[in-house]
Amino acid sequence: MKQPIPQEFDTPTYRDVLSQFDAAAEWFCLDTNIWKRLRLPQRALCVTMPIRMDNGDVHVFQGFRVQHDSSLGPTKGGVRYHPGVNLGEVAALAMNMTWKCALVGLPYGGAKGGIGCNPKSMSRRELQRLTRRYTAEIFPLIGPDHDIPAPDVGTNEQVMAWMMDTYSQQRGYAVPGVVTGKPICIGGSLGREEATGRGVVYVAIEAMKHLGISIEGATAAVQGFGNVGSIAARFLSETGIKVIGVSDSTCGIYNSRGLDIQDVIAYKKDRHTLEGYPDGEMISNEELLELECTILVPSALSGQITEDNAGRLRCRMVVEGANNPTTREGDEVLKEMGIFVVPDILANSGGVIVSYFEWVQDLQKYFWKEREINERLQEIIITAFNRVIRFSVSENIVMRRASMSIAIKRLADAHLARGLYP
């Protein structure tokens, strides 16, 4: 498909996500009309928000909400607070959410939101004002039957609580199902906070079984020590895999004997950084990615594994905790090197799977036990993993292509069944 990308979406992340889709669509011989449609988001809203800062100044922030495709149901996707947020990146992440939901069989399309801001340098009161104003601005687009936000980089359950409250105030009654990843006391789900990291570990273990690698002697390195990275590291070490390196935006830490992850989590919680952690050697983020290990789990931002560093990776497999951590060129290098990649739309789908459970519980007003949630998560994600493996082996294609093809097939069926309006 040689159609130009509209200027407003044309960013490196959008090009990466689109090129993966184009390659899979071409291989799959996707109907050209559906192909053209899915290359672009269905709706994109840009908003500006004047916010009174604590020092009395007014700062105007820019935010976005993009809905990629609603053919399978309401749209679903996180909200990112980061200085680098732009429309093209949000649109790319929304597109990725469409593939992810379709791949694991959820009744959702993909969406994403974000605000260009640095939450680390803002006070709680500033963040609350910004979140409430953002929610008010995107109010026409969201709702339990329309589009359901969730946390992503730089946002957390508190931000979701403010979003839920702002939306509910406008409606005049409590609407817990408008967001997921909120605190349990207002309709959040048990197990949601750990869900993405837990899912990453479930698929990592399945991948090891597939490759015939035993847990004994296996090692892991995890980039990013936020929600996804710290929890994945915790579950990996609880499973018996030695986590030899972790990193955050400030630095990385390495210990060949294995890090005590609970201790690292406590240190990070206390100091808000990994810098200065006593039981490990300080390393750079680049060095962390290049550690010799069994499993590398990138769990930070997009575009971390590129054509420049992919050739220096010394892991047996990459399990993509983050969204789009590997560029198109980086992916080609990994393929040539024979590194097994569990793609983001499969590896980190645990978050949206348990978000789906949270939404179902909110709509039913009936809440499940944590054991039930974890078991259902495991069943869905492992079933999806095995489907992808079977397809990948039978067609002799890599896991990313197989995952994308399964997702595209489900979307194509839905689009063809529904037809065009008007």
DSSP string, 357-415: HHHHHHHHT----HHHHHHHHHHHHHHHHHHHHHHHHHHT--HHHHHHHHHHHHHHHHH
- If one asks whether residue 223 binds ligand NAD (CB under 6 A), the answer comes out as yes
Residue 15 or 37: the one with the smaller Cβ distance to ligand NAD is 15
Among 77, 226, 245, 330, binds ligand NAD (CB under 6 A): 226
CB-CB contact of 341 with 316 (8 Å): no
Q: CA-CA distance, 412 to 333, in Å (whole number)?
A: 30
104, 141, 153, 261: which one binds ligand NAD (CB under 6 A): 153
Least distance (Å) from ligand NAD to the CB of residue 197?
Answer: 8
Q: Which is nearer to ligand NAD, 69 or 157 (CB)?
A: 157
Contact set for ligand NAD, span 228-267 (CB under 6 A): 228-229, 247-249
> Which residues, including other chains, have CB under 8 Å from residue 105's CB and lie 6 or more apart?
380, 384, 410
Q: Residues 151, 188, 245, 280: which binds ligand NAD (CB under 6 A)? A: 151
Residue 74 touches ligand NAD, criterion: CB under 6 A: no
CA-CA distance, 297 to 3, in Å (whole number)? 34
Tokens of 246: 């972790």
Provide the β-strand partners of residue 78.
Answer: 150
358 near ligand NAD (CB under 6 A)? no
Residue type at position 35: W
Size of the site for ligand NAD (CB under 6 A): 24
Shortest Å distance, C-beta 419 to ligand NAD: 32
Is the separation of the CB atoms in 112 and 77 below 8 Å? yes
Does 123 contact ligand NAD by CB under 6 A?
no
Query: Residue 322 interacts with ligand NAD (CB under 6 A)?
Result: yes
Beta-carbon contacts of 94 under 8 Å, excluding residues fewer than 6 positions away, are 41, 66, 67, 68, 75, 77, 110, 111, 112
**Selected binder of ligand NAD within 86, 196, 237, 326 (CB under 6 A):** 196
Give the residue closest to ligand NAD by C-beta.
226
CB of 202 to ligand NAD, least distance (A): 14
Peptide bond just before 278 cis, omega within 30 deg = no
268 is a catalytic site residue? no
Nearer to ligand NAD, 63 or 154 (CB): 154
Residue 350: its H or E element: helix 350-364
Does 224 interact with ligand NAD (rule: CB under 6 A)? yes
Asked if 348 touches ligand NAD (CB under 6 A), the answer is: yes
Of 39-47, 182-190, 220-228, 378-386: span binding ligand NAD (CB under 6 A) = 220-228
Using CB under 6 A as the binding rule, the residues of this chain from 288 to 307 that contact ligand NAD are 299-301
Residue spans of beta strands (DSSP E) within 178-279: 219-223, 242-247, 252-254
Shortest Cβ 50–ligand NAD spacing (Å): 25
191 is an interface residue for ligand NAD by CB under 6 A: no
Question: Is 42 one of the binding residues for ligand NAD (CB under 6 A)?
Answer: no
CA-CA-CA-CA torsion sign (183, 184, 188, 189)? positive
Sole window of 32-40, 225-233, 254-262, 387-395 interacting with ligand NAD (rule: CB under 6 A):
225-233
The 10 Å Cβ neighbour count of residue 128 is 17
Place of tokens 């039981």: 279
Q: How far is the CB of 338 from ligand NAD (least distance, A)?
A: 25
- How many angstroms separate the CA atoms of 135 and 175, rounded? 13
Catalytic-labelled residue, pool 112, 182, 242, 268: 112
**Using CA atoms, how far apart are residues 244 and 227, in angstroms rounded to an integer?**
19
Dist CA 243 CA 226 (whole Å): 16
Q: Which of 42, 135, 237, 323 binds ligand NAD (CB under 6 A)?
A: 323
The minimum distance between CB 302 and ligand NAD, in angstroms, equals 7
Active-site residue set? 112
Q: Which residues bind ligand NAD (CB under 6 A)?
A: 151-154, 196, 223-229, 247-249, 285, 299-301, 321-323, 348, 351
